[in-house]
Amino acid sequence: MSVAVIIVAAGSGSRLGADLPKALVEIGGRTLLEHSLRTALEVSGLVQVVVVAPATHLEAVIELIDGIRTSSAVHVVAGGADRTASVAAGLAALDDGLGDELDDADAQGDLAEPQVVLVHDAARCFTPLDVYERVVDAVRDGWVAVVPGLPVVDTVKVVDERGVVRSTPPREQLRAVQTPQGFVRDELEAAHASGVSATDDAALLEALGHHVLVVEGDPLSFKVTTPADLDRAHRHTASLST
Ligand code: CTP
Ligand code: MG
């Protein structure tokens, strides 16, 4: 089963508060998007990457991608008003003429048509390749939807609108989920056709009654969200170069 990766990078990064969209902020001389893209390009069975970029910075993103040597097709499309809309824009870009530009994939027949779609947050820029591979393997094993996740360290409360606790789910049943999330392409497209928004794609499939498998995530898949996360990311890159 061939693989496409959609990297969603169209958010503004309001919590980070930089003067650029978050995906274009640099760590160790590379943008968050470039860190994510370089790993995604290593995924086995890859036939296409779609980068969903801020509409205001399409040219900058195209230029950045031109600077990366790859034999895979990389398309850039403009994002939407929320993450779900950006994923939908990326999914729509999977339809156009896949394989036409892919000599290797053409030679392998239906490999050019991606059947597994991974959706990854550009902001999780240090996600290790083995997480991508774990997710793809589980989809190839027959799961329609697969997400990487880690046990939760805090006790989590469900509260009402006043902040009053309604319940305390047992911690051992909780997972903090990350990306890349992997799906059978047709099912992800069907889930997005509903037009409902959610903070991750798996929730859209859950709503349709699909079983979603959680595989092991990685602490390095933390999402750069706040200035403190950016500091952590800088420390991580600095630790690699010493
Ligand atoms: N994203 C996107 N399109 C949007 C909103 C988010 O492609 N309209 C992407 C972001 O670029 C990011 C991922 O979804 O890679 C996760 O979103 P988040 O961390 O919330 O990023 P932002 O929405 O940019 O940040 P904030 O919520 O702080 O504004
Ligand atoms: Mg956001």
Partners of residue 146 on adjacent β-strands: 182, 213
Residue 94 has a pLDDT of 93
DSSP letter for 196, please.
-
Residue 100 has a pLDDT of 47
The ipTM of this complex is 0.99
Residue 99 has a pLDDT of 45
| Distance of CA 36 from the midpoint of ligand 2 (Å) | 17
Residue spans of the domains in the chain: they are 3-240
DSSP string, 19-34: SS-GGG-EETTEEHHH
Picking from 114, 101, 151, 110, the residue whose alpha carbon sits closest to that of residue 40 is 114
| Distance of CA 152 from the midpoint of ligand 2 (Å) | 21
Query: Which amino acid is residue 38, in one-letter code?
Result: R
Residue 95 has a pLDDT of 57
Given ligand 1 and candidates 83, 125, 197, 229, which is best to mutate, with the most ligand atoms within 8 Å of its CB? 83
Given ligand 1 and candidates 7, 16, 22, which is best to mutate, with the most ligand atoms within 8 Å of its CB? 22
191/66 Cα distance (integer angstroms): 32
Q: Estimate the crossing angle of helix 32-40 against helix 58-66, to 10 degrees.
A: 50
Please tell me if the CB atom of residue 11 comes closer than 6 angstroms to any atom of ligand 1: yes
Please tell me if the CB atom of residue 121 comes closer than 6 angstroms to any atom of ligand 1: yes
**pLDDT per 10-residue tile (average), the chain, 242 residues:** 96 97 97 98 96 98 92 93 98 66 48 85 98 98 98 98 98 98 97 95 97 98 98 96 77
Residue 73 has a pLDDT of 87
119/125 Cα distance (integer angstroms): 13
Residue 114 has a pLDDT of 78
Tokens of 152: 């939760």
DSSP string, 145-173: EEEEEEE--S---EE-TTS-EEE---GGG
Residue 155 has a pLDDT of 98
| Distance of CA 81 from the midpoint of ligand 1 (Å) | 10
Indicate the class that CATH gives domain 3-240. Answer: alpha beta
Q: Are strands 3-8 and 46-53 parallel, antiparallel or unpaired?
A: parallel
Tokens of 172: 């051992």
Tokens of 24: 């274009």
Residue given tokens 């860190």 in the structure block = 35
